[in-house]
Structure 1
Amino acid sequence: MRLLEERIKKDGQVLGEDVLKVDNFLNHQVDPELMAAMGEEFKRLFEGAPITKILTVESSGIAPAVFSGLAFHVPVVFARKHKSLTLQDNMYSATVYSYTKKVNNHISISKKFLNENDRVLVIDDFLANGQAVEGLLEIIDQAGAQLEGVGIVIEKTFQKGRELLDQRGIHVESLARIAAFEQGEVVFLDENNEN
């Protein structure tokens, strides 16, 4: 998605060899016009899929998921990373490791929001090592729901997440695919002629 790639080039900040900071438009401050465009693009990419729910993990996946839900006209459910006093029992849960924060997160979703009748599209902000998506897939399996696909805002193709999902035959669409970070700059996959 050219609009997203341009925004990453303009406002993204490369930190080290494998971290991209996009807090000024995606995961701290949110650009709603960009989110709306991304929601419409996910709708186009998964056109025809009988999606009944959008699923994501709090918190950075919520904005793109909500705008995708708006485009699909379906509810959005997000997995909580922290226990809530109002959500105690009847939960689906999984453990996911955050490479960015170097911690295990226990994610959970109330059973009343996901069931065997649901056809799910997972939306997340980043795909790197695939841990967040794997956790959501575990929850989808627990619910007996059916996965229709995975939509990723920014994919780091030099990490193993996509490979893990491809091995499982999962339909994955990424709006921006990063091949590398070189000298503090983002190199997109199509710039490397690997598309």
Structure 2
Amino acid sequence: MELLKQKIREVGVVLSDEVIKLDAILNHAVDPALTTAMGQEFAKLFREEGVTKIVTIESSGIPIAFAAAQELNVPLVFARRKKTLNTDTETYCERVPSFTKGMVTDIMVSKEFLNETDRVVLIDDFIANGDAARGLIRIIRRSGATLLGVGIAVEKSFQAGGRTIRESGVRVESLVKISSLANGQIQFE
């Protein structure tokens, strides 16, 4: 997706050979026009699959997933990272490490919002090692829902996440693939 590549070139800050900061468009601030375009692109990729729900993980994946859900006219469900006083007691829960946060968290989805009649696309902002996506894939499968595929805005293809999920037989569609961040330079596939 050329528009996303252009924005990454404009606002991306390479912090190391493994980390790029995209706070201006994905992780802290939201560019509505770009987010809408990403949602439209994901809708094009999955429209013929009979999607009934979009699933993501809070928080950075929510705007893109919302845009896709709106374009497909289906509900959006997001996995929560923190239990609150009013969290449903009947949940699917997985423990997942976060590459960027450097810690392990629990993600959970209420059983009320995901079941065997659902045809689901998982959408998220980034994939690096793929741990969060694999955790959510396990939740989707435990619910009995059909996983149609995974949509990723930015895949760091020099890390194993996208590749290992593809190798497990899951369709992964990335809008942009970054092949390297070496020497502070963003290289796209």
Q: How does 1:11-90 map to 2 (within 5 A)?
A: 11-90=11-90
C-alpha distance in structure 2 between counterparts of 1:17 and 1:113, whole Å = 38
C-alpha distance in structure 2 between counterparts of 1:84 and 1:146, whole Å = 28
User: Shift of residue 169 of structure 1?
Assistant: 1.2
Whether contact under 8 Å (2:122, 2:151) holds in the other structure is yes
Q: TM-score scaled to structure 2, two decimals?
A: 0.98
C-alpha distance in structure 1 between counterparts of 2:53 and 2:182, whole Å = 38
C-alpha distance in structure 2 between counterparts of 1:99 and 1:157, whole Å = 14
What is the aligned partner in structure 2 of residue 94 from structure 1?
A: 94
C-alpha distance in structure 2 between counterparts of 1:92 and 1:47, whole Å = 27
User: Shift of residue 166 of structure 1?
Assistant: 1.4
- Structure 1 runs (4+) deviating above 2 angstroms are none
User: Shift of residue 47 of structure 1?
Assistant: 2.7
User: Shift of residue 140 of structure 1?
Assistant: 0.5
* Structure 2, unaligned runs of 5 or more: none
Aligned residue pair count: 189
What is the aligned partner in structure 2 of residue 112 from structure 1?
A: 112
Say which structure is richer in helix. Answer: 2
What is the aligned partner in structure 1 of residue 154 from structure 2?
A: 154
C-alpha distance in structure 2 between counterparts of 1:103 and 1:182, whole Å = 24
Q: Deviations over 1:60-82 (max 9, x none)?
A: 11010000101110011000000
User: Shift of residue 188 of structure 1?
Assistant: 0.1
SS of the residue 1:92 aligns to = strand
* Percent identity (aligned): 47
Q: Deviations over 1:102-131 (max 9, x none)?
A: 111100011111111000000000011001
Q: Which amino acid aligns with 1:122?
A: L
C-alpha distance in structure 1 between counterparts of 2:182 and 2:19, whole Å = 12
State the Cα RMSD in Å. Answer: 0.8
